[in-house]
Amino acid sequence: DQANRPAVFGMPELVNYARKQGVEVFFLTGLSEPQRPGAEKNLAKTGYDVPLDAKHLFLKNKTNPPSYLKNCATATSWTCT
């Protein structure tokens, strides 16, 4: 639940600008689902003014993988790259 990761220089401004221009923004990360609270807090803290819900912030859910990963992820095996 840490929220101490720095943003990549210039990214919050670019992402916020894109959103103001009507672009729907998504985040794809290698963090695991239990790290969601810290990830959301960190993104907001570093200046991202965009939706950070489950439809916009994608994390690894190893206990309940999404159906679109059925060929490479199960609750017991995760081989997706």
Task: Give per-residue pLDDT as tens, 6-53.
Answer: 899 999 999 999 999 999 999 998 898 999 999 999 999 999 999 999
Task: Please indicate, yes or no, if residue 6 is contained in any of the structural domains.
Answer: no
Task: Please indicate, yes or no, if residue 76 is contained in any of the structural domains.
Answer: no
Task: Please indicate, yes or no, if residue 63 is contained in any of the structural domains.
Answer: yes
Higher per-residue pLDDT: 38 or 3: 38
Taking residue 22's Cβ as centre, other Cβ atoms within 10 Å add up to 6
Number of domains in the chain: 1
Query: What pLDDT shows up at residue 9?
Result: 95
- For residue 43, which of 32, 29, 23 has the smallest C-alpha distance? 29
10 φ/ψ angles, rounded to the nearest 5 degrees:
85, -15
Task: Please indicate, yes or no, if residue 3 is contained in any of the structural domains.
Answer: no
CA distance 79 to 73: 6
3-state secondary structure of 36: helix
CA dihedral 47, 48, 49, 54 (to 10 degrees): -140
Q: What is the pLDDT of residues 50-68, one digit of tens each?
A: 999 989 999 988 888 888 8
Host domain of residue 39 = 11-69
